[in-house]
């Protein structure tokens, strides 16, 4: 997906847009561009491939006299990474500049239509087609007033199939900025004699905490002191103004070299935030006020289906183990992109839960829509207040983990593990778990932040392990039961930021094929924190060692393992079994981070990735 910023107001637009794009660069960084309406009411356009900073090669933001502009940082979908394909795109006759996040699915039909109308194209993007479609309908209008600008966009978007977050400038309306949304997030910051449009709050929070979250098929036309929101059918919309619940400092890197490093270290506070307000008065059970809308349904559900992607999917897999163990409710974990087409058989007492850090992942939104289409109640767990998932679900739980800027999920993942462990015990205490079990879990929960701080002290030891293995090109990650999702997450971290092929498996499954990979060139990371089943894991260790496979162990102190039996050994604090995966994840995060550093990778903006995938 991409990052969009738009501005109209009392300040110079270019520096604010440039800085906003830098805050959104984690959303995509193939190319960037800024389009402005100058004081003489003409357009100026700057685009470059690479990071936002590359724009400084073609202009100096502080020298611009513009107070209206749009900007974009791209994650390529249609068309290669090039200046010609970079946004903003200009319409054929020069009336419009436009930036877009999303995918126009019927772009071929629209392009054919426009070619018949003698339009020509310079890029390979679907976005340029949209700019020309808007211009085509604008030139049908009787006037060049802002109302005609709005009507042209409405008419064009009524012919569009697909997703978009848009910011548009019209040269005839030099004091106006238009924004529109369908499927790709877009917020409007309400400032003092100014409005800021952005893909997420990180580009707005410096100037105002008052925002409106545009909803699907809504359009906003704004000047510095006026804002009109309506639908594609021109019905006026009264939008709710929300308050951003975090400060600008939280979106900064501070003294850390990378956002990922900062966010790994924020995890103790993240757990404090996840727990806050979610413990019963007698300290014997978690509680979730946000789940109240489902009332007694919590006692009646006989199956839970989780839908998510990536790290959030791994967290849901953890929830399967914990909910089935503590609440005896059958759980299914679906890749969201599969659920929407699979026609899964669901009973009337099924509950669907969608989990998403960004709350905007399109595959997860599609699964949500499918569950709602079939009439099922849907619970949402997300980290972004006002996100689509938070607004489209029947009820839910906010993670309150603060903005996660690093593309590789760290604190959001452990926050989800904590909330899902609490949900498992909450459901268990409605059914089979007795008071003492509940009290024991709550006590462990309250001690967890301190144990995270202790685990963070392992960074240097893990960095040294990475120093030994950073030239390895493949790894296995193994874990049993509740540590299997941690093995999957550790492998994903290594893949996405160090570009090393890694695969997670249930430990015993290694014998059924993957053992063929075991050799000196393929180290294995093994998570072993459950003493009762350790003898089985020890067998796997022996099988690997018999084939000269290096072993990196992540274990608790109670595991009867001779350190000489592995090339590297990391001891993490022991905690409640339902919370142990959270501590086991931290060494995997550090390992991927230090492997990436030694391999010269960009930790916060890894190649080909984007923070929130708002395309299918």
Query: Which residues are marked as active site?
Result: 2, 611
What is the closest distance, in whole angstroms, from the C-beta atom of residue 425 to ligand AGP in the complex? 23
Q: Which is nearer to ligand AGP, 146 or 403 (CB)?
A: 403
Q: What is the dihedral of CA 406, 527, 481, 502, to 10 degrees?
A: 60
Letters for 496-515 (x = contact with ligand AGP by CB under 6 A, - = none) are: x-------------------
Can you tell me the distance from the alpha carbon of 317 to that of 489, in angstroms, rounded to the nearest whole number? 11
Among 101, 612, 614, 615, binds ligand AGP (CB under 6 A): 612
Letters for 454-493 (x = contact with ligand AGP by CB under 6 A, - = none) are: ----------------------------------------
Q: Which listed range, 21-29, 50-58, 325-333, 355-363, lies at the site for ligand AGP (CB under 6 A)?
A: 355-363
DSSP at 577: T
Letters for 315-354 (x = contact with ligand AGP by CB under 6 A, - = none) are: ----------------------------------------
Among 285, 364, 472, 580, binds ligand AGP (CB under 6 A): 364
Q: Which is nearer to ligand AGP, 130 or 362 (CB)?
A: 362
Closest by CA position to 74, among listed 26, 132, 131: 26
SS3 sequence, 291-336? HHHHCCHHHHCCEEEEEECHHHHHHHHHHHHHHHHHHCCCEEEEEH
Range 125-164, binding ligand AGP (CB under 6 A)? none
312 binds ligand AGP (CB under 6 A): yes
What is the closest distance, in whole angstroms, from the C-beta atom of residue 499 to ligand AGP in the complex? 14
408 binds ligand AGP (CB under 6 A): yes
613 binds ligand AGP (CB under 6 A): yes
Q: Which is nearer to ligand AGP, 54 or 609 (CB)?
A: 609
Q: Which two tokens stand for residue 290?
A: 């946000």
Closest by CA position to 306, among listed 274, 330, 278, 288: 330
DSSP at 36: E
Can you tell me the distance from the alpha carbon of 74 to that of 96, in angstroms, rounded to the nearest whole number? 19
What is the closest distance, in whole angstroms, from the C-beta atom of residue 526 to ligand AGP in the complex? 21
Q: Which listed range, 78-86, 112-120, 249-257, 307-315, lies at the site for ligand AGP (CB under 6 A)?
A: 307-315
What is the closest distance, in whole angstroms, from the C-beta atom of residue 201 to ligand AGP in the complex? 15
Among 171, 356, 482, 524, binds ligand AGP (CB under 6 A): 356
232 binds ligand AGP (CB under 6 A): no
- Give counts: helices (H), strands (E), the chain: 17, 24
Q: Which is nearer to ligand AGP, 390 or 409 (CB)?
A: 409
Among 45, 407, 421, 570, binds ligand AGP (CB under 6 A): 407
Can you tell me the distance from the alpha carbon of 399 to that of 271, in angstroms, rounded to the nearest whole number? 9
Question: Is the preceding omega at residue 363 within 30 degrees of 0, hence cis?
Answer: no
Taking CA atoms, 150 is separated from 43, 110, 128, 133, 173, in Å, by 19, 19, 18, 13, 11
Among 310, 403, 549, 587, binds ligand AGP (CB under 6 A): 310
What is the closest distance, in whole angstroms, from the C-beta atom of residue 360 to ligand AGP in the complex? 7
Total site size for ligand AGP, rule CB under 6 A:
15
What is the closest distance, in whole angstroms, from the C-beta atom of residue 606 to ligand AGP in the complex? 9
Q: Is 18 helix (H, G, I), strand (E, B) or coil?
A: helix
409 binds ligand AGP (CB under 6 A): yes
Q: Which is nearer to ligand AGP, 407 or 424 (CB)?
A: 407
Q: Are 497 and 592 in contact (CB under 8 A)?
A: yes
399 binds ligand AGP (CB under 6 A): no
Alpha helix segments (H runs only) across 377-410: 388-392
Q: Which is nearer to ligand AGP, 223 or 358 (CB)?
A: 358
Q: Which is nearer to ligand AGP, 20 or 490 (CB)?
A: 490
Can you tell me the distance from the alpha carbon of 141 to that of 125, in angstroms, rounded to the nearest whole number? 26
DSSP characters over 503-543? EEEEGGGGGTTGGGG-BTTB-EEEEE--GGGHHHHHHHHHH
Q: Are 34 and 46 in contact (CB under 8 A)?
A: yes
Among 73, 350, 361, 393, binds ligand AGP (CB under 6 A): 361
DSSP at 51: S
Q: Are 553 and 526 in contact (CB under 8 A)?
A: yes
CB-nearest residue to ligand AGP = 310
H or E element at residue 179: strand 177-182
Cα 537 to chain centroid distance, Å, stands at 34
DSSP at 25: G
Q: Which listed range, 44-52, 140-148, 340-348, 358-366, lies at the site for ligand AGP (CB under 6 A)?
A: 358-366
Closest by CA position to 613, among listed 309, 340, 354, 367: 309
DSSP at 13: H
Q: Which is nearer to ligand AGP, 136 or 265 (CB)?
A: 265
Closest by CA position to 549, among listed 469, 494, 466, 459: 469
DSSP characters over 422-461? HHHHHHHHTTT--HHHHHHHHHHHHHHHHHHHHHHTTHHH
Closest by CA position to 278, among listed 384, 418, 447, 387: 418
What is the closest distance, in whole angstroms, from the C-beta atom of residue 21 to ligand AGP in the complex? 20
Q: Which is nearer to ligand AGP, 138 or 339 (CB)?
A: 339
Can you tell me the distance from the alpha carbon of 533 to that of 607, in angstroms, rounded to the nearest whole number? 39
Q: Which is nearer to ligand AGP, 194 or 404 (CB)?
A: 404
Can you tell me the distance from the alpha carbon of 257 to that of 253, in angstroms, rounded to the nearest whole number? 7
What is the closest distance, in whole angstroms, from the C-beta atom of residue 406 to ligand AGP in the complex? 8
What is the closest distance, in whole angstroms, from the C-beta atom of residue 361 to ligand AGP in the complex? 3
Q: Are 580 and 574 in contact (CB under 8 A)?
A: yes
200 binds ligand AGP (CB under 6 A): no
Among 358, 414, 540, 585, binds ligand AGP (CB under 6 A): 358
What is the closest distance, in whole angstroms, from the C-beta atom of residue 594 to ligand AGP in the complex? 16
357 binds ligand AGP (CB under 6 A): yes
Q: Which listed range, 306-314, 324-332, 343-351, 532-540, lies at the site for ligand AGP (CB under 6 A)?
A: 306-314
How many residues are recorded in the chain? 616
Q: Which is nearer to ligand AGP, 350 or 364 (CB)?
A: 364
Residues lying near ligand AGP in the complex (CB under 6 A) are found at: 309-312, 356-358, 361, 364, 407-409, 496, 612-613
């Amino acid at each position: 997906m991409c990052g969009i910023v738009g501005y109209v107001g009392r300040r110079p637009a270019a520096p604010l847009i440039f800085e906003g794009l830098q805050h959104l660069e984690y959303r995509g960084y193939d190319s960037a561009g800024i389009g402005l309406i100058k004081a003489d009411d003409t357009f100026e356009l700057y685009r470059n491939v690479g990071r936002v900073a590359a724009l400084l090669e073609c202009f100096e933001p502080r020298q611009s006299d513009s107070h209206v502009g749009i900007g974009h940082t791209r994650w390529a979908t249609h068309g290669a990474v090039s200046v010609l394909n970079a946004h903003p795109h200009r319409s054929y006759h020069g009336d419009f500049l436009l930036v877009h996040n999303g995918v126009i699915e019927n772009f071929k039909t629209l392009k054919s239509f426009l070619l018949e109308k003698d339009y020509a194209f310079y890029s390979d993007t679907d976005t340029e087609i949209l700019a020309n479609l808007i211009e085509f309908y604008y030139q049908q209008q009787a006037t060049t007033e802002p109302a005609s600008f709005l009507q042209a966009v409405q008419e064009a978007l009524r012919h569009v199939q697909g997703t978009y977050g848009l910011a548009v400038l019209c040269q005839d309306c030099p004091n106006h900025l238009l924004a529109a949304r369908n499927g790709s997030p877009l917020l409007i910051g309400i400032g003092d004699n100014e409005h800021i449009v952005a893909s997420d709050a990180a580009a707005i929070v410096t100037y105002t905490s008052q925002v409106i979250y545009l909803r699907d098929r809504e359009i906003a036309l704004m000047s510095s002191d006026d804002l009109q929101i309506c639908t594609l059918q021109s019905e006026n919309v009264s939008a709710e103004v929300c308050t951003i619940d975090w400060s600008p400092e939280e979106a900064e890197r501070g003294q850390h070299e990378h956002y990922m490093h900062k966010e790994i270290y924020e995890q103790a506070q993240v757990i404090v935030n996840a727990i806050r307000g979610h413990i019963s008065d007698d300290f014997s059970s978690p509680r979730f006020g946000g789940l109240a809308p489902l009332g007694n349904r919590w006692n009646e559900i006989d199956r839970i289906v989780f839908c998510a992607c990536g790290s959030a999917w791994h967290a849901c897999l953890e929830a399967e183990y914990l909910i089935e163990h503590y609440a005896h409710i059958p759980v299914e974990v679906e890749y969201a992109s599969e659920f929407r087409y699979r026609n899964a058989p669901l009973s009337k007492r099924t509950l669907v839960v969608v989990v998403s850090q960004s709350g905007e992942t399109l595959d997860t939104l599609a699964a949500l829509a499918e569950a709602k289409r079939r009439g099922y109640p849907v619970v949402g767990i997300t980290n972004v207040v006002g996100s689509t998932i938070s607004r489209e679900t029947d009820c839910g739980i906010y993670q309150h983990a603060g903005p996660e800027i690093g593309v590789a999920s760290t604190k959001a993942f452990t926050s989800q593990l904590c909330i899902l462990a609490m949900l498992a015990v909450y459901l268990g205490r409605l059914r089979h778990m007795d008071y003492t079990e509940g009290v024991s879990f709550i006590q462990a929960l309250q001690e967890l932040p301190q144990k995270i701080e202790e685990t963070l002290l392992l960074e240097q030891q893990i960095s040294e392990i990475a120093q030994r293995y950073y030239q390895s090109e493949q790894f296995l990650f193994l874990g049993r039961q509740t540590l299997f999702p941690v093995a999957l997450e550790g492998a994903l971290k290594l893949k996405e930021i160090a570009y090393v092929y890694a695969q997670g498996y249930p430990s015993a499954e290694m014998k059924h094929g993957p053992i063929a990979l075991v050799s000196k060139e393929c180290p294995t990371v093994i998570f072993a924190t459950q003493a009762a089943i350790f003898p089985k894991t020890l067998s796997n260790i022996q099988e690997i060692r018999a084939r000269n496979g290096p072993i990196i162990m992540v274990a608790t102190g109670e595991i009867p393992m001779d350190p000489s039996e592995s090339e590297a050994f990391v001891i993490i604090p022991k905690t409640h079994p339902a919370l142990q995966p959270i501590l086991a994840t931290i060494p995997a995060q550090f390992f991927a981070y230090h492997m990436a550093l030694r391999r010269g990778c960009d930790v916060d903006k890894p190649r080909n990735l984007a923070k929130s995938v708002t395309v299918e």
